[in-house]
Amino acid sequence: MLLLVLLLVLLLVLLLVLLLVLLLALPLLMFRLRSGWIHCRNKSEVGRRMALQLLQIMPPLSSSGDGAEADEPASAAAAAAEEWSGPVVSSVKLVAPAGKVPHVELAFAHADGLRLSPAQGCQSCCNQTFRPQFEQGSVFQVANRQGVWLDAVGSLDLEGSKLIVRPTTTVTCGGAASSTTSSIGGEPVGGCWLAQVRFAAIDIPQCVLYNAASLPAVPFQFPMGYTAKSM
């Protein structure tokens, strides 16, 4: 009889533990489902982006459909003129005006019509001050010299050609001169601790950087002072 009671108690404990696990996992599961997991539902858009990339490395075919390369110069010129890439970082600069909070200024290639737009199935979308449940970090982040990543907010400049990333925490630049820029090695100058910047280094980015062709920027991470060798 005692053994039966112990078995019943053990079974009850196991059921309670299972119920607790389900209750804790349900919000995360619902968030993943609302966010669409990692699979894009719009397959035609994926195909369009792949086709634009392929047209840059493959000659266009003739309109006859016989597999021969097109001999019309206009076809090749049209393929070359069409935007095929999302925004690509060309330079990263640390700007530290004296007496003001420093920020990171990023310039891009393939950046005509640069904009920040909501991601598919987003919850907070481009409200960067709100962090969805279970999301680790914001879509934009900056790091100190110890490699600790902290939340930041990204926005476009007045011309809409550059991205400005501002840390949400208090940053000081003791005695820093205006428009101070660090070295390529990432070591900040002028007393600023901003060493690196990154974008979309989280599971489900809620806000995406697009150009006029609706092509997204890929996740990136760069040190202060980075300059692309060739674009």
Would you say residue 41 has pLDDT above 80? no
Mean pLDDT of 204-226: 93
Q: Residue 180 — very low, low, confident or very high, per pLDDT cuts 50/70/90?
A: very low
Give pLDDT, residue 55.
86
Q: Is the pLDDT of residue 217 over 70?
A: yes
Distance, in Å, from the CA atom of 199 to the CA atom of 206, rounded to the nearest integer, reads: 11
What is the pLDDT, as a whole number, of residue 65? 55
**Torsions phi, psi for 223 (to 5 deg):** -80, 160
Pairwise pLDDT comparison (152 vs 81), residue with the higher score: 152
CB-based burial of residue 154 (10 Å sphere; 0-12 exposed, 13-18 middle, 19+ buried)? Answer: buried
What's the pLDDT score for residue 62? 60
pTM: 0.70
Question: Mean pLDDT across the chain, nearest whole number?
Answer: 78
The residue ranges of DSSP E strands in 132-173, in sequence order, are 140-143, 149-156, 162-167
Q: What pLDDT is attached to residue 11?
A: 86
